[in-house]
Structure 1
Amino acid sequence: MLVKQLLSMKSDTAKPWIESGLIVTIKPDATLAEAAKLLAEQRIGAVVVSSNGRTPEGILSERDIVRQLGNHGPDVLSKPISGIMTKSVQTCTAGEEGMAILQRMTEGRFRHMPVVDGQGDMLGVISIGDAVSGRLKELAAEKDALTGMIMGS
């Protein structure tokens, strides 16, 4: 399954209040507290950091926030996320295979990846859950096809 198919399936998720084409972003000068509030309001696990809302400059996850709180205490909530975010954002394109993305996420131990076009503008964000769901649907379709062949239908 291609990444563009994974993106198209997002409207079928358990979050009907989030449009499948919506990319939640935050500016790099926002505070960690503002980012935590945004994540909670949107009920998402990571937010793309972008000055213009189109190109990813970083990514910030719930885990990043928890680590900062654990290491530095609540005073860190007033710090800008630019110093905390992951700056080397892994991205993918709509034409890449979902299994390859799932492998990259697993090996890199991250759970969210912006999907970009040829100019680096974001088309969406996929999660490891999106990739796993896509793979499970592929496997179910393969099973049904093989069952049909065996049963002669």
Structure 2
Amino acid sequence: MKTIKTFLNEAQQSLATIQTTATVLDALNLMAERNVSAVLVLEQDQLRGIFTERDYARKVILQGKSSRNTPISEVMSTTLTTVNPDKNINACMELMTDKRVRHLPVVDSAGQLLGIVSIGDVVKEVMAEQRYMINELQRYIAG
């Protein structure tokens, strides 16, 4: 099973990050530009939170706040569930299911932010692994 570190190396993603001083509108513009549903929020290169489409719906729209004037630090999620790069994809799926989150920031043992894994990434990798196993079993049976 593929590790998160291997996945990140293969994906070669560029992180969508924003500073705690930014506004919700800044975050939404970045999310639209990068076609992502979450941005990681940093303060002096340290991970401080995550802002997702879910946060926007629940903490901005439903509460009648202005995207232009609301600081991201006011509405970001600060209780973060992170994953170590040495974990495998299945561990991510279990963690996401248990914690009911759709995004996992990848942080090494020194606390350095390495990337992010989404539920879509995890599902795609699990499906690829299953296809591989099915093909191997069919080859084995066919002799």
Taking structure 2 as the reference length, what is the TM-score of the superposition? 0.91
Alignment length, in residue pairs? 142
Q: Is the 8 A contact 2:60 2:67 kept in 1?
A: yes
Shift in Å at residue 137 of structure 1? 1.0
Any stretches of 5+ residues in structure 2 without a counterpart? none
Percent identity, please. Answer: 33
Matched, 1:72 2:73: no
Q: Following superposition, which runs of at least 4 residues in structure 1 exceed 3 angstroms of deviation?
A: none
Shift in Å at residue 72 of structure 1? 2.2
Question: Residues 78-105 of structure 1: CA distance to partner in whole angstroms, max 9, x if unpaired?
Answer: 1111121110111111110211111111
Shift in Å at residue 74 of structure 1? 4.6
One-letter code aligned to 2:9 = S
- CA distance in 2 between counterparts of 1:135 and 1:8 reads 17
Matched, 1:24 2:16: yes
Secondary structure at the counterpart of residue 91 of structure 1: coil
Matched, 1:58 2:59: no
- CA distance in 1 between counterparts of 2:28 and 2:121 reads 22
- CA distance in 1 between counterparts of 2:102 and 2:7 reads 14
Q: Is the 8 A contact 1:6 1:130 kept in 2?
A: no
Aligned position for 1:42: 34
Aligned position for 1:118: 109
Question: Residues 23-52 of structure 1: CA distance to partner in whole angstroms, max 9, x if unpaired?
Answer: 111111111111111111111000000013
Aligned position for 1:134: 125
Higher relative CO (Cα under 8 Å, sequence separation at least 6) belongs to: 1
Q: Is the 8 A contact 2:16 2:31 kept in 1?
A: no
Aligned position for 1:16: none
Secondary structure at the counterpart of residue 61 of structure 2: helix
Any stretches of 5+ residues in structure 1 without a counterpart? 11-19
Secondary structure at the counterpart of residue 114 of structure 1: strand
| RMSD, aligned α-carbons | 1.5
**Structure 1 or 2: larger strand share?**
2
Aligned position for 1:148: 139
